[in-house]
Structure 1
Amino acid sequence: MMKLAEQLHFLNGKADRLHVDVMDGHYVKNLALSASFVAQIRPYTPLPIDVHLMVEEPTPFIPALIEAGADAISLHPETICREAFRVINMLRQAGKEVGMVLNPATPVESIQHYLHLLDKVTVMTVDPGYAGQPFIPEMTAKIAQLHQLKESRSLNFLLEVDGSCNRNTYRELLGAGAQVLVMGSSGLFRPDMPLEQAWEKMSRDLSAALHSPEHV
């Protein structure tokens, strides 16, 4: 916990929010983190904690995550298709931000009826549940589709990308309309580099992508 606390102290002065993956070992094969982890890190950071809930049955997890101090919860539409509006209202009433996460094979149309109720839409550019997977280039069109929908309907959701966000993809993702990039093992948290050094490298790579002629 000491090393994690040190990393959080550094990120508190740099990051916009913290992304926490919660997996149940069923919706995806991996098992990772829980509401107790959110509760453990809450005292160490003033940043919004954004939970990506990769579980088969999300509703039993939500009260514990709210109690633990999560500020935003993002769900997969396949897991709440029979109670989407009820779950969205539950989170709204608790004062939490609501997001939906689209797997690579999940179409944008699956969330069209409540897109206007969302604070954030996340496009997975890799299949969920495993770190270090290669970027799926077909997802650029999905990001662009959501960006166009957002503009044409004057919607306010943030457009986020999760998966293989790194120097090789920044330019393409930002050019398609992405506003938030989830920084994982390929872009920031590297075993061969201290976090401070990795952050500086990431910042340089992002700045280069933002100021490239293609993006401008």
Structure 2
Amino acid sequence: MLIAPSLLASNFLNLEAECRMINESEADWFHLDVMDGRFVPNISFGLPVIQSIRKASKKVFDVHLMIEEPGMYAEAFKKAGADNLTVHLEACPHLHRNIQQIKQLGMKAGVAINPHTPVQLLQDVLRDIDLVLIMSVNPGFGGQQFIPHTLDKIRTLRQKIDQLSLPVLIEVDGGIDLTNARAIAEAGAHVLVAGSSIFHATDPKSVISALKQADKQQHII
């Protein structure tokens, strides 16, 4: 199980310390949510922040673009330090072109889907991508509750990926904590994105460690 703490929930006043905590923890990726105030009703951070924190870590930078016209900025995010670049199916009328651009720039290509979007709409690009990001909350804000029917979407997608023997990772983002991580892992997820449950915890490193064992332990609470 890969764990990707979402910096959207971190203390921006002490971002260097938050990055140090992730570096010292068992976390695998930095998850970085970029919002434009158009595709989602919020604005987060952008290129300068990613460029700055890239200097503070050698872990994978998993950049999630919740923006319109992501193709205009793909090269800039590569230069800023992105290793994975995920775009939203709903924001890309020419999705295959966006995927090709990301891979040609040397990044892993991901496609995200919102809670209302069926996983079946991904079938024509599954062979071209490296990961699918299933949103388990409506994107735009942290601290929301996990939407239960996401588990069915994970199972359906995992079955299709296994059927085709594809090396595609299933990443899940939104409302993940120690009460539901095991169920999400059992449904077939490979990567857990967690924000509030990590950064608002008394001992964030312990939470990361427990989440990382979600697919192995009988009880993680």
Give the Cα separation in 1 of the matches to 2:153 and 2:121.
Answer: 13
Aligned length: 207
- AA at the equivalent of 2:199: F
Matched, 1:64 2:76: yes
Name 1:33's counterpart in structure 2. 45
- AA at the equivalent of 2:205: W
Unaligned stretches of 5+ residues in structure 2: 1-11
Structure 1 runs of 4+ aligned residues shifted over 6 Å read none
- AA at the equivalent of 2:64: H
Unaligned stretches of 5+ residues in structure 1: none
1:167–1:41 CA distance, 2 compared to 1 (3 A): same
1:59–1:206 CA distance, 2 compared to 1 (3 A): closer
Aligned pair partner of 1:111 in 108, 116, 122: 122
1:150–1:188 CA distance, 2 compared to 1 (3 A): same
Give the Cα separation in 2 of the matches to 1:164 and 1:52.
Answer: 16
1:205–1:112 CA distance, 2 compared to 1 (3 A): closer
- AA at the equivalent of 1:4: L
Name 1:210's counterpart in structure 2. 216
| 1:37 CA displacement | 1.2
Q: Which has the higher contact order (CA 8 A, sep 6+)?
A: 2
Match runs of 1:4-15 below 5 Å: 4-14=15-25, 15=27
**2:178–2:210 contact (8 Å) kept in structure 1:** no
**1:125–1:161 contact (8 Å) kept in structure 2:** yes
Partner SS state of residue 55, structure 2: helix
* Alignment deviations for residues 102-145 of structure 1 (CA, whole Å, 9 cap, x no partner): 11101112221111111111111111111111111011000000
Name 1:90's counterpart in structure 2. 101
Give the Cα separation in 1 of the matches to 2:139 and 2:82.
Answer: 21
Give the Cα separation in 1 of the matches to 2:145 and 2:207.
Answer: 20
Partner SS state of residue 51, structure 1: strand
Aligned pair partner of 2:204 in 195, 198, 201: 198
Partner SS state of residue 49, structure 1: strand
Matched, 1:183 2:180: no
Partner SS state of residue 85, structure 2: strand
- AA at the equivalent of 2:65: L
Greater Rg by CA: 1
**2:186–2:215 contact (8 Å) kept in structure 1:** no
TM-score of the pair, normalised by structure 1? 0.90
1:201–1:42 CA distance, 2 compared to 1 (3 A): closer
- AA at the equivalent of 1:167: L
| 1:202 CA displacement | 4.2
TM-score of the pair, normalised by structure 2? 0.88
Name 1:171's counterpart in structure 2. 182
Aligned pair partner of 1:50 in 62, 69, 72: 62
